[in-house]
Structure 1
Amino acid sequence: MNLGRRQHILLSVNLGFLGSQLSGTDDPTTVLNSILGAYGLPQLKGAGGFKLYDDFDQEYVFEYPRSWVGRSNSLRQGVYVSDFNTADKAVVEVFPEPSGADLVLEVVSRAVSPGQEVGGDARLILPDERRIKTEAVNIDGVSYTYIRFPSETVTRSGYQIRRKNFAVAAAKGGVVYSLVASARSDQYNAEKEKVLQYIQGSFRLRR
C-alpha cells in the first residue's frame, strides 16, 4: 500500500522523543503539527483551550493556548511560548528592578528589541510614548502594571513587521517579572485580542 507523504512522516517519527524536545507541551497534536509544518504539509486541527505554565523553579505562572509550543528564552532569563504557524507569542523576561528608571519603558524596550545585544538584520523601533497605555492594579497585595503598545520592526530589505502587544509586569525582591503577549498586526482580529488579553490577565507571581 502506498502511503502519502504526510502518513509516511507520521509513521516514521518518535513522538516521545519529539515531545521531550518541545518544552511546555505534552499535546500530541501540537507535536505532530510542528513536524508537518516544518515539511510544509497540511496540519491537523489544533487542540483548544489553555494550559497552565507552572514551573516550581520559577516565581511566576501564566496560561497560554494549548496548541502553542514553549521553550526557554534563549536571549535572557525567562520562557518563550508561541504558535509556530502565525508567530503569535508570549515571552516572559526576568531582570533586576531598574533604579530610577521608568518600569513601563524598560518593559517596552526589552520587548521591542530583545535581539539587539546579539545583532541581527532588523531595525527595531520604539513606539511613541503617547501610544503606550498603562494601568496599575493591586491583586493579592502585589502591584501589577498592565501595558498595551504597538511595535514595529523594519528589515534590511525594508519590510515592516508591526505587532500588537499586551504586557504585564510586577516586581518582587528587587526583580521584575514581565510577560508580553503579541500578534502581528496584519493577522490581528477580535479573537486574537481576546487570547492575548487572557494570557496577559493570567500572569501571577507566587506568593
Structure 2
Amino acid sequence: MPGAYGLPQLRGSGEFKLYDDFDQEFVFEYPRSWVGRSNSLRQGVYVSDFNTADKAVVEIFPEPSSADMVLEVVRRAVSPGQEIGGDARLILPDERRIKSETVDIDDMRYTYIRFPSETVTRSGYQIRRKNFAVAAAKGGRVYSLVASARSDQYNAQKEQILQHIQGSFRLRR
C-alpha cells in the first residue's frame, strides 16, 4: 500500500545506519531500510519504516521545571500535536505502566523509558504501540528519542531493533 502513495519500497536489512548530522546535538542508529525526514511537528528528526509504521522520533524541547522528565517525554510522544482533529483521541498510559531507569554514560545522565500508547482513530480503530524512549537534558533543553512499533506487529525481532535504537542514542559533549 505505501507504494500507492509514492512512498519508497525498501527491502529490509539487518544493518543499521548512523544518524549523525553535525548541526544536531545527538546521534543514533536506525535500520538502514528506514527513511528519515525532519520532524514537522517540533525540532528534531523522524525516521520510519513506512511499510510497517515502525518509527523513531527525536524531539527537542525546553527542560521542564518539574523534576519529572519521564512524564513530559511520554506526554509529548503520545500527543505530538496540539490537536489531532475530528473525534480521534490519543490516550496517555496509566503512570503505573510507565517503566523508567536512569543511567550515567560518559558523564551524561540518560533516562530510559518503556510505555504503551493507544490511539483511537476517527473511524474508531484502536492502534496500540509499544514505545522505547530515552531522554537526556543538556543546556536547558531535553533531547528525547522514542522508537515504537504497533502492538499487533510486535515480536522479539522488533523488540531487539527498538532496543538497539534506544540504546544507541547519545548527545554530543
TM-score by length of 1: 0.78
Partner residue in 2 for 1:150: 116
Measure the CA separation in 2 of the matches of 1:121 and 1:155. 7
Is contact 2:86–2:122 with CA below 8 Å preserved after alignment? no
The alpha-carbon deviation at position 46 of structure 1 amounts to 3.0
Compute the displacement of 1:47 (Å). 3.5
Check if 1:115 corresponds to 2:81: yes
Give the AA of the match of 1:58: Q
Post-superposition offset of 1:155: 1.2
Deviation per CA, 1:158-181, whole angstroms, max 9, x where unpaired? Answer: 210000000000000101000000
Provide Cα deviations, 1:2-59, integer angstroms capped at 9, x if missing partner. xxxxxxxxxxxxxxxxxxxxxxxxxxxxxxxxx982369xx66434300000000000
> 4+ residue stretches of structure 1 with deviation over 2 A?
35-40, 43-48, 115-121
Q: How does 1:45-64 map to 2 (within 5 A)?
A: 45-64=11-30
Cα distance in structure 2, aligned partners of 1:56 and 1:44: 26
Distance 1:187 1:36, change over 3 A: closer
Aligned partner of 2:44: which letter?
G
Q: Which has the higher contact order (CA 8 A, sep 6+)?
A: 2
Q: Name the SS of the counterpart of 1:109 in structure 2.
A: helix
- Going by fraction, where is strand more abundant, 1 or 2? 2
Structure 1 residue matching 2:159: 3-state secondary structure: helix
Moved more, 96-105 or 170-179: 96-105
Letter in 2 for 1:62: F
Structure 2 residue ranges without an equivalent (≥5): none
- Pairs within 5 Å for 1:66-85: 66-85=32-51
Q: Which runs of 5+ in 1 are unaligned?
A: 1-34
In the alignment, does 2:153 pair up with 1:190? Answer: no
**Corresponding residue to 2:135 among 145, 169, 174:** 169
- Higher helix fraction (1 or 2): 1
Distance 1:146 1:184 in 2: 19
How far is the alpha carbon of 1:122 from its aligned partner? 1.8
Correspondence for 1:31: none
Give SS of 2:71's match: helix
Rg (Cα) greater in structure = 1
Q: Secondary structure at the match of 1:116?
A: coil
Task: Give the number of equivalent residue pairs.
Answer: 171
**Same amino acid, percent of matched pairs:** 87
The superposition leaves residues 86-131 of structure 1 with CA deviations (integer Å, 9 ceiling, x where unpaired) of 0000000000000125200000000001123464652000000000
CA distance in 2, matches of 1:63, 1:94: 18
